[in-house]
Amino acid sequence: MALFQNLSDKINHAFSKLTNRGALTELEIKQAMREVRVALLEADVNYTVAKDFIAKVTEKALGEQILKSLTPGQQVIKVVNEQLCELMGSTQSKLAVASKLPTVIMMCGLQGAGKTTMCGKLALHLKKQGKKVLLVADDIYRPAAINQLEIVAGKSGAGFFQMGQINPTKIAVSGVEFARKNGYDTVIIDTAGRLHINEELMAELENIKKAVEVTETLLVVDAMTGQDAVNVAKSFDEALDITGVIITKLDGDTRGGATLSVKAVTGKPIKFCGVGEKMEDLEPFHPDRMASRILGMGDVLTLIEKAQSAIDEEEAKKMAKKLKEASFDLNDFLEQYDKVAQMGNINDLVSMIPGANKLKLGSATIDESQIKRNKCIIQSMTAEERSNPKVLNYSRRKRIAAGSGTTVQDVNKLIKQYEQTKDMMKRFGKSKRLPF
């Protein structure tokens, strides 16, 4: 069951024998933190960053009262998640605008991080906000980098400026000058990828910053980066005092722990994420989503919270009892549908289930109209049929289909679903918790 091989399961498993209700104890937290540590390391969070984070969370969690609705495991996850979200910062997908136009955005980062493509994405994004954007080709080293930016400019509807392979500072100065004269309000400078330890090339960026008034210095970081992310981010920030970070290639299956590392060592906001090769594939940064991605557990916490608010504990107990007595009938099934409806958009919920990210699910998302149809079907049944679905023979099914404006196949499908749910709940019933 790969779907449940995530951090929250592991922690819940570690806690399965504990029924402690008061406050979280040191031992409990220590056990859980062992799992959290491994999860962070597997996600490529830097070793030192992970260590600091765990120390902080442990302190925070110690003595924390366990909410009535949560298990100790869930409580720990809640604290971990909250702290992680806090560390990630807020959604700050705004780019500063210079008081004296044009606004100048300088992109920087290691080789192959995705700067050139990101220039186009930002240009398109800004263009949609009514800006007139000029892309300046300042990568004079990589073969065909200038051609690449020119094509990207064309695709994103931005202006393009190049001077061939001459001194990059000169190009930047002339580019900004060109923008001013030609009515561009925003300039994006694409610089060559470089290693953070290459002093000569780092000095080159510093020189550009001295020569033109840069409004935003954005560090572009590949989401797949490992432990070295801290060294890279620290060096670039120290040399250039970056104003923000962009994470690229998040459409891959990486857990993206580098995001946390970069944020931890620079403290600078993460502004955008790249999620594909097309110019439109740009998203604002969502700290909560990133946090659960790093922990490898989907948006479990929101799910826990939503489930808890929709179904109080008393009701959950009642349901569990019914399952034990095997009296879970179509009335209960209908009630479940209502609860689910209360919890909000079904597809949002599905995306919160660990491991069930939209990419992997593909077309397997849930059709809300189908839920409405199923409710209609159940409502067309007699009280007897609802409490004892076994009596549903063909002629009854035909009648129900006619009454609910559906087909017999629809009715069959619903009954099958009911059987499966009953089965599934029976399996989870042992834990007296909902099957999340």
Ligand X SMILES: Nc1nc2c(ncn2[C@@H]2O[C@H](COP(=O)(O)OP(=O)(O)OP(=O)(O)O)[C@@H](O)[C@H]2O)c(=O)[nH]1
Q: In the complex, which residues of this chain contact ligand X (CB under 6 A)?
A: 111-112, 142, 193, 195
For ligand X, the closer CB: 32 or 192: 192
Nearest 5°: the CA angle 207, 208, 210 is: 65
Q: How far is the CB of 152 from ligand X (least distance, A)?
A: 12
Whole-angstrom distance, CA of residue 115 vs CA of residue 246:
9
Strand pairing class (159-161; 186-191): unpaired
For other proteins, the closer CB: 253 or 384: 253
Residue 225: which of other proteins, ligand X, none does it interact with, CB under 5 to 8 A by kind?
other proteins
* In the block, residue with structure tokens 């023979």: 393
Q: Please confirm whether the linkage preceding 287 is cis (ω < 30° from 0).
A: no
Q: How far is the CB of 268 from other proteins (least distance, A)?
A: 19
H, E, C per residue of 47-108: HHHHHHHHHHHHHHHCCCECCCCCCHHHHHHHHHHHHHHHHHCCCCCCCCCCCCCCEEEEEE
Residue 385: which of ligand X, other proteins, none does it interact with, CB under 5 to 8 A by kind?
none
Q: Which residues bind other proteins (CB under 8 A)?
A: 38, 41-44, 47-48, 110-114, 116, 141-145, 147-148, 150-152, 155, 195-197, 222, 224-228, 231-232, 249, 251-255, 257-258, 277, 359
Residue 222: which of other proteins, ligand X, none does it interact with, CB under 5 to 8 A by kind?
other proteins
Strand pairing class (133-138; 244-248): unpaired
Q: How far is the CB of 276 from ligand X (least distance, A)?
A: 14
Residue 152: which of ligand X, other proteins, none does it interact with, CB under 5 to 8 A by kind?
other proteins
Residue 164: which of ligand X, other proteins, none does it interact with, CB under 5 to 8 A by kind?
none
For ligand X, the closer CB: 112 or 403: 112
Collapsed DSSP state (helix, strand, coil) of residue 186: strand
Whole-angstrom distance, CA of residue 72 vs CA of residue 65:
9
Partners of 23 in beta bridges? 65
Q: How far is the CB of 234 from ligand X (least distance, A)?
A: 18
Partners of 135 in beta bridges? 160, 188
Q: Are the C-beta atoms of residues 270 and 263 closer than 8 Å to each other? A: yes
Q: How far is the CB of 149 from ligand X (least distance, A)?
A: 13
For other proteins, the closer CB: 255 or 422: 255
Task: Determine how many CB atoms are found less than 10 A away from the CB of residue 333.
Answer: 22
Please report the sign of the dihedral spanned by the C-alpha atoms of residue 234, residue 239, residue 241, residue 243. Answer: negative
For other proteins, the closer CB: 146 or 304: 146
Q: How far is the CB of 290 from other proteins (least distance, A)?
A: 15
For ligand X, the closer CB: 193 or 429: 193
Residue 57: which of other proteins, ligand X, none does it interact with, CB under 5 to 8 A by kind?
none
Q: How far is the CB of 220 from ligand X (least distance, A)?
A: 12
* In the block, residue with structure tokens 């007699």: 382
For ligand X, the closer CB: 195 or 402: 195
